[in-house]
Structure formats: C-alpha cells, structure tokens
Amino acid sequence: MAHSGKTPARYGCHEAREDAEQVMGNRASAEVRALFEEHLRGCRHCRQMNRLLYAVYEGPVIPPAPTGVAEEKDFHAALRRMRTEKPAPWYHTLTVRGGIAVLGASAAALALSLAGVTPATFGFGSGSPDGTVDAVAMGSGTGGDVGGFSGDTGEAPSIKHAAQAYGRVVAGTAVMTDADGDGSQSNTFEVGTQFEVDANESLQIGLLGKMVANATPGSRVTWVKGTASLVELKIDEGMLAVRYDRAASDPILQVRTPTAVVRVVGTVFTVQVEEDEGSAVSVLRGQVEVLDPVTNQTVAEVESGDRYDVAKGNYDTVGRFEVQSALPISKNASGSDSLEARIPESWHVPGLPADDANRTLAYVPERSRASVIDGPSIRVVGTTGSGNGGGHASQGHDAEPLPVKPAARRVENDSDDIIADLMEGAATARRKELIAALRNCRDLYASNETRYLAATCIGRFLKQYDDHPLAAEAYLLRGMLRMDYALDYKTAEVDLETYLRRAPNGRQVEKARYRLWLSATEDGRINEALKRARTYLDTYPNGRFVGKIIQRFPELKNSL
C-alpha cells in the first residue's frame, strides 16, 4: 500500500496508479480515496487508465449459455465425447510391439488397397452390397436406446441430401394442403404440409425415412420443420403417434401443441392436449422433455411408464389409451417379423404382467377415463412413439364424438392393388386354404390400424406357400410393408429383390424397382439411390414413378 497511514505531500499520477486497485476494491482509506478522486478529476490520462483498469477487474460480460435445443445438442455431444475420450488402459501405453504390429497391418492394408482389394471383401467394414462407397449412410443406423445416442457411428448428420427431406403417405385418407395452401393428392409431401385426417379413417405417414406416424381420425397435424438438426410436428387437433428410433446423428424431434413442446430424448411417448389447452405427455420407452413453448425452458422430464400433466404439473402412470395409440406404428427392435399385436418388452407399462404371453392390450390397466380423456372435452391428443407392437388407435374411444371433417380425399397408395392381385390369382388356383390365408392377410391389410400386421401375416403365408407362383408377389408386398412400417430398408430390399428374381416379367416389376430406389433414398444411401433411379429411368422413361424420382433428384431430369 503506497499511502497507508500517511498523506503524501504531492499526489501525482504515480501515486494514483499505485492506489487504483485499492480504491476499486474498497480497501483504500477515505483520505486516500479523496486524493485519488481529486487527482482523477484533473488528470485525463489517469481517468482513462482507471476506466481501463476497472474494466479489467470487472471482467467480461458473459454471454448466456445455450438453452433449449442447442443445450440438448451440447449435452449429447459431451456424452458422445465421453465415450470417445475414455482413457485408454494403462497397458496401451506400453504396447510398443503392438504399435509395430499396427504399423505392419497398416502397411499390409495399404498394399491391399493398392491392389484394389477393399476391407469389405474380408467381411469387416460396412460397404454397400454393390461395393460402392456410401458416405451418406454413415450414422444413419437406428439406435433404439434410451437417450437416443446409442448406435452412434459418426458425427455426420444422417440427413444430408435434399432427396431425403420428404414425407410419404403410407396409408389412409386425409385432406392434404401444402405450405402454399394448395391441395395435394400425391403420396409424397414436403415440409409445411397440413393433414386433416378423415373422420372415420386414420392416416399413416413416413417422414424423412426415419420415422413413421399415425394420425387418428379427425386429427389436424402439420409438418412444420424438417432439417438435418430438427424435425417439428404440430398438432392442432386429434392424435398423432410417431415411432422414431433416433440415433445420435439424427435430427431432434419436437412435437408442438398449443401449450407445450415435447422433445424426443428417448423414443416412445404420447402427447395429449385437452380443450382447455392443457397438455399431457406419456412415455412408453426412453425419456422425453417437455418444454415451455415460449421460453423453451424445460418444464419436466418424463420417463418411461409415466404420464405428465402439464397444466396440473403432476404425474400418473401410462394407461391403456396411450399404449393403444402407439401400438399401430410400433415394431420390435429385434426385427420386422415380430410385428405383432403384443406390447414390446422395451415398453414400460406399469401394471402389465411380466409373463410374455400376457403382454397384450387387454392386460394393460385402464386408467380412469376422466384422467385420460374428459369425455367430449378432449380435442387434441398427440402421441409420438417408437418401439414395436400393434393396436388400434381409433378403437376404444370410438364412442367419442369426433369432430366432423371436410370430405377427405384418398391419397394415392401404391400398394393397394397387390393384395387384390394375390386374391385374384389365388381364386383361379382354387386353393381354399391359400385363399383363407390370404383373406386373413387382406383383412389385416384393409384397416390402417392393422395394416402393419399384414407383414407378419404375409410372412406366414410365404412360409406355407412359398413354392406357389403367387408367392413372388407376396414378397413384394411384404417388402413394401417392412419398408413402410418397420423402416427396415435392408430387409425390405431383400424381399423386393426376391420378387424381381422370381418374377422378372411380373406385373409389378416397375413398382418393385421404384420401391428399391425409394428404399435407398429414404435410407440415405444416395449413391445407390442415384444408380437405381438411373436404372429405372432408363427402363421406364415414361413410367408411373418418373415424377416422384425427378421430384427428389431434379438433376436426373436431363437424363430423360
């Protein structure tokens, strides 16, 4: 301290600089402070210096930390780093010999690559079946884990190409309005499309090749956003169920209601909005966050088995209604063959018997109806989910008077005719058993609520009648169903290729080729999709699906 206890005879710039820090820290005596301030009044340079020193000690103004989606992404990025930055075991630091071995292996790999042999030849690596390098497919695997960050294979966003940024009507009837307010009857749609689902029939749609949604009769749903980082759906009325097995590189899914934003952290949840605009969120698998739509702040985290009422701020358990709503578009993680009307093991449904045979809707405890749906007062119920199983989204509440919607237009559905062909062929073959089996499949296929079960039915049919000429067409149908409901593109392609192999001159060959292209596109294998698109356009320059291919790959227009 330069002047403790004493006042100097002359208080100049040197003294003022010595005392500046003490004055700022309120540690200087009143006398020193007075001298300091007096000096500053008369010395412009010291004033400037003092201001600067004050700014140094004050520190920078800290920008606010990211919130909402940005915060979510940062957190998951930290978790990904956590896995990649796991410290190596101590013995790794000592493996000089190991290093030499790696060098040797690298040299061998280099030599092999120069010789034109790819690692895929040896069964490691994940090259495309045709050997083409497909960077876009990286990171597009389905994680299916809580938190949605398992199965992460890379940092690259899994939606890279504009051709993927479309949705597709899988089945059902709705009035579709595009972003410009124009009506549409195509089964392919873009961001901004609004759906007013028919009052008597549900609608099933696929988005970005990554999620499949079921809108119950009378729903009004809008696809608001679809980018590599965020997919947003808005529910104004009715109910929506979405299955989304999100991998780390996949976009975040948000479902917006008038009073809440529900963000997918896990994979299976339901959203319900009541007439008074109160929302309720239920989770069947994984975890979701409920955000305030205005501030974007987290209101609640809801875990599997729980139902959260946003307005009341309290929790309950999920009930039959929520399970029922999510079942139609669910699938078992073990594969599309297990598309059954069973509640997936991965779903947490409190009160459900542990016995596998009893994991059906009938055993799900029904919550008091009032807590689920207050009679006709419920206007909007949204459900998003992923998992497996089946159910009837519109059943169980069919006594509720649903809002009357304008006359719906049936959207194009490219699989309707196949089962009719199968039936026709079976009739001519006069095979009673076969007809009965097909009829069962047809009944399942006829309803949007049970159509996903037709894949299993067709699978059983194929097991029994695989040697029958009709079986080839059944492969096509099963491939399409697997693609639409299970989003299991690789398995679907095996079926489609089987069809093409067994019926090279069949009536549906063009459709099978189109579906093969669509599968690669929605799966994000753009190189492969382009190759298949060219093959299709070369074979069918005036084909039924040319418009759809050009819509997603406008650059191919010149090749026509």
Looking at the Cβ atoms of 22 and 394, the one nearer to other proteins is 22
Strand order in the sheet with 188-189: 188-189, 167-172, 203-207, 211-215, 240-244
3-state secondary structure of 548: helix
User: In the bound complex, what is the minimum distance in angstroms from residue 45's beta carbon to other proteins?
Assistant: 8
Which of 61, 88, 354, 399 is the binder for other proteins (CB under 8 A)? Answer: 61
Which of 301, 398, 412, 424 is the binder for other proteins (CB under 8 A)? Answer: 301
Q: Does 300 bind other proteins (CB under 8 A)?
A: yes
Q: Judge contact between 204 and 171, C-beta under 8 A.
A: yes
Q: If you write DSSP's letter for every residue of 458-517 in order, what string do you get?
A: HHHHHHHHTTSTTHHHHHHHHHHHIIIII--HHHHHHHHHHHHHH-TT-TTHHHHHHHHH
Q: Judge contact between 185 and 412, C-beta under 8 A.
A: yes
How far apart, in whole angstroms, are the C-alpha atoms of residue 424 and residue 315? 53
Q: Does 65 bind other proteins (CB under 8 A)?
A: yes
In order of 346, 375, 381, 510, 523, the CA distances from 475 in angstroms are 29, 44, 36, 14, 20
User: In the bound complex, what is the minimum distance in angstroms from residue 438's beta carbon to other proteins?
Assistant: 46
Residues in 233-292 that interact with other proteins by CB under 8 A: 287, 290
User: In the bound complex, what is the minimum distance in angstroms from residue 407's beta carbon to other proteins?
Assistant: 44
Sign of CA dihedral 107, 109, 112, 113: negative
Which of 17, 161, 225, 534 is the binder for other proteins (CB under 8 A)? Answer: 17
Q: Does 54 bind other proteins (CB under 8 A)?
A: yes
Per-residue x/- track, 21-40, other proteins (CB under 8 A)? x-------------------
Q: Does 299 bind other proteins (CB under 8 A)?
A: yes
Exposure of 50 by Cβ count < 10 A (0-12 exposed, 13-18 middle, 19+ buried)?
Answer: buried
In order of 206, 228, 230, 252, 253, the CA distances from 266 in angstroms are 19, 18, 15, 10, 10
Which of 62, 354, 357, 407 is the binder for other proteins (CB under 8 A)? Answer: 62
Per-residue x/- track, 135-154, other proteins (CB under 8 A)? -----------xx-------
Q: Does 306 bind other proteins (CB under 8 A)?
A: yes
Q: Judge contact between 415 and 424, C-beta under 8 A.
A: no
Looking at the Cβ atoms of 23 and 393, the one nearer to other proteins is 23
Tokens (6 digits) for 438: 């097909």
Looking at the Cβ atoms of 248 and 426, the one nearer to other proteins is 248
Which of 63, 125, 181, 504 is the binder for other proteins (CB under 8 A)? Answer: 63
Q: Does 105 bind other proteins (CB under 8 A)?
A: no
DSSP 409: P
How many Cβ atoms from other residues are within 10 Å of residue 429's Cβ? Answer: 14
Looking at the Cβ atoms of 47 and 531, the one nearer to other proteins is 47
Residues in 74-93 that interact with other proteins by CB under 8 A: 74-75, 77-82, 84-87
How far apart, in whole angstroms, are the C-alpha atoms of residue 242 and residue 214? 6
Looking at the Cβ atoms of 237 and 309, the one nearer to other proteins is 309
Instruction: State how beta strands 306-309 and 279-285 pair.
Output: antiparallel
**Total residues at interface with other proteins (CB under 8 A):** 45
Per-residue x/- track, 309-328, other proteins (CB under 8 A)? ------x-------------
Q: Does 53 bind other proteins (CB under 8 A)?
A: yes
**Which residues are registered as beta bridge partners of 206?**
168, 212
Q: Does 49 bind other proteins (CB under 8 A)?
A: yes
DSSP 135: G
User: In the bound complex, what is the minimum distance in angstroms from residue 75's beta carbon to other proteins?
Assistant: 5
Interacting residues toward other proteins by CB under 8 A? 17, 20-21, 48-49, 51-63, 65-66, 71, 74-75, 77-82, 84-87, 146-147, 287, 290, 298-301, 303, 305-306, 315
